[in-house]
Amino acid sequence: MSSRHLSAFDRALIQFDQALHTLVPGTARAQRANPAKSELEADLDAKERHHTAGLMRINHTGEICAQALYQGQALTAKLGKVRAAMSQAAQEEVDHLAWCEQQLKALDSRPSVLNPLFYGASLALGAAAGLLGDKISLGFVAATEEQVCRHLREHLDQLPIQDQANRAVLTQMLDDEEKHGTVALEAGGTRFPRWIKRAMKQASKAMTATTYRI
Ligand SMILES: [Fe+2]
Ligand SMILES: [Fe+2]
């Protein structure tokens, strides 16, 4: 069905369904195999396991935010020719979400209880950026991906050396996120000034500090 035939109620139902698929564990379906599957599970002591679970919980919440950002953007931005590229990126984010969830489970851990809160905030931000026009909306995607890449590099440095499974997941994610940022800029996204990026960095610190623990 073409989107212009959808009523506001239809759109609200679709959005609700997307929110459930993002937030309810076990409902995100990856299209690509989890890169961790080809690696042997590492022998981690209690401290390493706890730290790795904290890092993977941050990454999982980051992917919830990415879902919400792309969903918010799809609601309000025009996007035109780049809509297909953006939905390809959004599908790759579903893979990331499913992989992070699987990795948390393998660590006997769980996603953050704060995820609905971060989902709502990111959906609103994505939709607001979309209302400001495609250049801003795509610029916001690029700036967000830049931030995500920084986190992923830090986490790759912090993972226990023997943990090849989580390393494989984060490495593939880093590869994808770099590509998403480039696609958004090449599609006409504005390069955000440093002060906005600094503000985004501060906001992301609130997310990482809380979701590492809860
Ligand atoms: Fe992602
Ligand atoms: Fe991404």
Ligand nearest to the CA of 63: 1
In this prediction, residues 14-40 reach a mean pLDDT of: 87
Instruction: Give the distance (Å) from ligand 2 centre to CA of residue 63.
Output: 8
Q: How much distance in Å is there from the Cα of 101 to the middle of ligand 2?
A: 16
User: Given a cut of 80, is residue 208 above it in pLDDT?
Assistant: yes
Is the Cβ–Cβ distance between 25 and 101 less than 8 Å?
yes
Report how far ligand 2's centroid is from the alpha carbon of 91 (Å). Answer: 9
Tokens at residue 58, please? 């941050």
Report pLDDT for 20: 84
Q: How far is the CA of 88 from the centre of ligand 1 (A)?
A: 12
- Which residue in 99, 85, 76, 82 sits closest to 29, CA to CA? 99
**Separation of alpha carbons 199 and 194, rounded Å:** 9
What tens digit of pLDDT does each residue of 128-185 get? 998 999 999 999 999 999 999 999 999 999 999 999 999 999 999 999 999 999 999 9
- Determine the distance separating the centroid of ligand 2 and the alpha carbon of 142, expressed in angstroms: 9
| Helices vs. strands in the chain: H and E counts, helices first | 7, 0
* Mean pLDDT in residue range 59-84: 88
Burial group, residue 128, by CB count within 10 angstroms (0-12, 13-18, 19+): middle
Who's near 122: CB < 8 A, 6+ residues apart? 64, 65, 66, 67, 68, 69, 72
Q: In this predicted structure, what is the pLDDT of residue 131?
A: 92
Helix/strand/coil for 62? helix
- Give residue 5 CA to ligand 1 midpoint distance, Å: 31
43 CA from centroid of ligand 1 (Å): 26
- Looking at all shown ligands, the one closest to residue 172's CA atom is 1
pLDDT one-digit tens code per residue, 84-125: 878 888 889 999 999 999 999 999 999 999 999 999 999 999
State the pLDDT confidence band at 1, using cuts at 50, 70 and 90.
very low
Q: Which domains does the chain have, with CATH numbers?
A: 44-211 (1.20.1260.10)
